[in-house]
């Protein structure tokens, strides 16, 4: 009855000159080359951006890891886990009680009358249904609050990604935490020198001013009460995918 946080959040982090992927798809085709006799003013009218020359620099980032490994992300997840600790303990107590009643019923053998056996069996069934309902409610509450906690930090981390990419001359940033099931770009291999995950985390921590939480804080993948189904946090606004 436990839910494990998904490690494949649907986040697209493609940044081209500060724009999302949709801007790439909708960009017009390059204009025909100007005649050799054309002047620089004729080739590039005032107010028209000049296309960059040379190869486009590409970076990769594990966006999900970046969100949860920031000091703010660690702090928020730790607080959320502590908030749900009482509910997790309650569900465990309910489960333990059911296990005990089942063992007692099995150990009774033929000592119980049919009516008593039916009563105990019915009581166990009712407790199991109650546990399932409580677990589902707790899991839904946890998932909703996890999504909110993730979204709050992801919005700000995405802003740092675009700023870092722009300042360091990257034309494209690919999210290697995105899986093919979300139909997002999947990075099969990348030179470690192109990974900006840690750099973004460090930049975010400096910008937020939030200190690192105590080392005993729960890890981002700590389990939620009530289910095995992965949670799926929402994508931060301003990102796009195909």
Paired tokens of 187: 């990075």
Question: DSSP string spanning 157-207?
Answer: HHHHHHHHHHHTT-SEEEETT--GGGT----S---GGGB-HHHHHHHHHHH
pTM: 0.60
Q: Give the percent of the chain with pLDDT over 90.
A: 51
**92: left (phi > 0), else alpha (psi -120 to 50), else beta?**
alpha
Report the pLDDT averaged over residues 40-47. Answer: 40
Average pLDDT, the chain: 73
| pLDDT single digits (tens) 174-214 | 998 865 445 555 665 677 888 999 999 999 999 999 999 88
């Amino acid at each position: 009855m436990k839910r494990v946080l998904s490690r494949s959040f649907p986040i697209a982090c493609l940044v081209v000159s500060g724009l999302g992927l949709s801007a790439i798809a909708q960009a017009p085709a390059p204009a025909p080359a100007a005649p050799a006799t054309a002047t620089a003013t004729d080739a590039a009218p005032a107010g028209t951006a000049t296309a960059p020359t040379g190869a486009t620099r590409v970076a990769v980032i594990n966006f999900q890891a970046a969100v949860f490994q920031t000091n703010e992300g660690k702090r928020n997840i730790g607080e959320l886990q502590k908030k749900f600790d009482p509910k997790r303990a309650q569900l465990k107590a309910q489960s333990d009680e059911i296990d005990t009643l089942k063992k007692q019923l099995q150990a009774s053998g033929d000592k119980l009358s049919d009516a008593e056996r039916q009563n105990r069996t019915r009581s166990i069934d009712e407790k199991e249904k109650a546990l399932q309902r409580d677990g589902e409610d707790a899991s839904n509450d946890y998932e909703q609050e996890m999504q909110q906690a993730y979204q709050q930090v992801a919005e700000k981390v995405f802003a740092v990604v675009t700023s870092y990419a722009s300042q360091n001359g990257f034309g494209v940033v690919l999210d290697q935490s995105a899986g093919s099931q979300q139909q997002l770009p999947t990075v099969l291999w990348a030179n470690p020198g192109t990974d900006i995950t840690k750099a973004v985390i460090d930049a975010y921590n400096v910008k937020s001013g939030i200190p690192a939480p105590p080392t005993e804080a729960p890890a981002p993948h700590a389990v939620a009460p009530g289910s095995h189904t992965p949670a799926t946090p929402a994508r931060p606004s301003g990102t796009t995918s195909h």
